[in-house]
């Protein structure tokens, strides 16, 4: 039975693997398991043991706590105005954009970021009429 935490860890695993441009097969080979096991981890069907999580974190070049980031109580989610839907970060389009962004040099990245910020909608005016 899938647990919320197992599902969250699986989503973080998939997100990082995709960000690095790795296939499930490549990641599985790096930790000495079959790609089907990576599939099961990513969908939350199988729990990732502590030792396997450590191996995965090394292969994906992130600290083990990376997999737990974003696990906050439901009531705390409403308090963070900058919280982003987790599924937006797991979309292929988002990963493609991030990869393209980091292939740019530093100056074009800064200019692109400034452009993106300039396109953000303005804060709604608080008219006290």
Q: Structural domains in the chain? A: 1-72 (1.10.260.40), 86-118 (no CATH)
**For the chain, where are the alpha helices, taking DSSP H only?**
4-19, 24-31, 35-42, 50-59, 74-77, 92-103, 106-118
Please say whether the beta carbons of 100 and 20 come within 8 A.
Answer: no
- Percentage of the chain exceeding pLDDT 90: 56
For position 129, what pLDDT does the model report? 45
SS3 state at 110: helix
Please say whether the beta carbons of 23 and 97 come within 8 A.
Answer: no
For position 80, what pLDDT does the model report? 56
Round the average pLDDT of the chain to a whole number and report it.
84
Whether residue 94 is predicted with pLDDT greater than 60 in this model: the reply is yes
Please say whether the beta carbons of 27 and 59 come within 8 A.
Answer: yes
Confidence class for position 50, pLDDT limits 50, 70, 90 = very high
Between the alpha carbon of residue 48 and those of residues 7, 40, 64, 125, the distances in Å are: 10, 9, 12, 48
For position 90, what pLDDT does the model report? 66
For position 121, what pLDDT does the model report? 82
């Amino acid at each position: 039975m899938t647990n919320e935490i197992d599902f969250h860890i699986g989503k973080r695993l998939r997100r990082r693997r995709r960000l690095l441009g790795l296939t499930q097969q490549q990641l599985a080979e790096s930790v000495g398991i079959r790609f089907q096991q990576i599939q099961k981890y990513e969908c939350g069907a199988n729990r990732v043991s502590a030792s396997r999580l450590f191996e995965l974190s090394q292969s994906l070049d992130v600290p083990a706590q990376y997999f737990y980031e974003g696990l906050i109580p439901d009531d705390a989610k409403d308090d963070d105005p900058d919280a982003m839907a987790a599924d937006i970060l797991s979309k292929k389009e988002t990963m493609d954009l991030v990869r393209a962004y980091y292939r740019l040099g530093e100056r074009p990245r800064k200019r692109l970021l400034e452009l993106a910020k300039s396109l953000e909608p303005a804060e709604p005016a608080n008219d006290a009429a």
